[in-house]
Amino acid sequence: MNYADLKTNIEDICENSFTDDQLALFVRQAEQNIYNIVQLPATRRNQTANTTSGNRFLSVPPDFLYAFSLAVIDGSGDYYYLLNKDVNFIKEAYPSTAGAMPKHYAQFDKDSLILGPTPDANYAVELHYGYYPESIVTAGTTWLGDEFDSALLNASLVEAIRFMKGEPDVVQMYEKQYAQSIALLKNLSDGKMRQDTYRSGQFRTPVS
């Protein structure tokens, strides 16, 4: 479902007309809600960078939300994954500027991570992180709209009916439909996408 179809469906189901700004607001809020409930492959991104010798801070990409992993890559191409800690641990465990290959990291602020120990060289690093994909409002089409439009539509309808100050029973109906679609999406993303039949076996329904 592309954005034009999504807007048409919202208005048809609600039997109401909305401005473009209102529709964009509904959809953006719906996307944000979904992306914070379900960890979709579309919200993951990798980026390589380099530490700076003597600098314990590593800048994060502008669209960074949270880290999945951070690894130091040595000259042989071997990966050494750092352990996530909090800022207080880093500062207490590594109070001096004495450098070595980092072993730990923490999110220092919205723009940077803090490393411990302080890097003693310009190490290559790979950051695997979560971010908000471009909205269907501006992109026209997205993974969510193409692969699981029921969740996006139902989440948008919840926002629309709330804006319309719908009757409680109608709001409850929309929220129920959204809950059902988000459960199916979680089953896909947090279940099927994180296993295979070789290790996990095929799903079996008990019979009597």
Question: What long-range pairs does 79-87 form, CB within 8 A, spacing at least 24?
Answer: 79/126, 82/115, 85/116, 87/114
Stated pTM of the model: 0.84
Which residues pair with residue 67 across a beta bridge?
Answer: 129
Strands 66-73 and 83-84: unpaired
Residues β-bridged to residue 107: 113
The residue length of the chain stands at 208
48: exposed, middle or buried (Cβ count in 10 Å: 0-12, 13-18, 19+): exposed
Give the pLDDT score at 33. Answer: 95
d(CA 161, CA 165): 6
At 139, list the tokens: 């992109």
The answer to whether 125 touches 60, Cβ cutoff 8 Å, is no
Among residues 153, 147, 154, 144, the alpha carbon closest in space to that of 176 is found at: 154
Would you say the C-alpha torsion 120, 126, 131, 134 has a positive or negative sign?
positive
Q: Please enumerate in sequence order all residues whose Cβ is within 8 A of that of 92, keeping only pairs 6 or more positions apart, or say none.
A: none
Q: What are the pLDDT tens digits along the chain (208 aa)? A: 999 999 999 999 999 999 999 999 999 999 999 999 998 888 999 999 999 999 999 999 999 999 999 999 988 899 999 999 999 999 999 987 778 999 999 999 999 999 999 999 999 999 999 999 999 999 999 999 999 999 999 999 999 999 999 999 999 999 999 999 999 998 887 777 667 777 777 766 677 7
**pLDDT at position 143:** 92
Rounded Cα distance, 23 and 116, in Å: 46
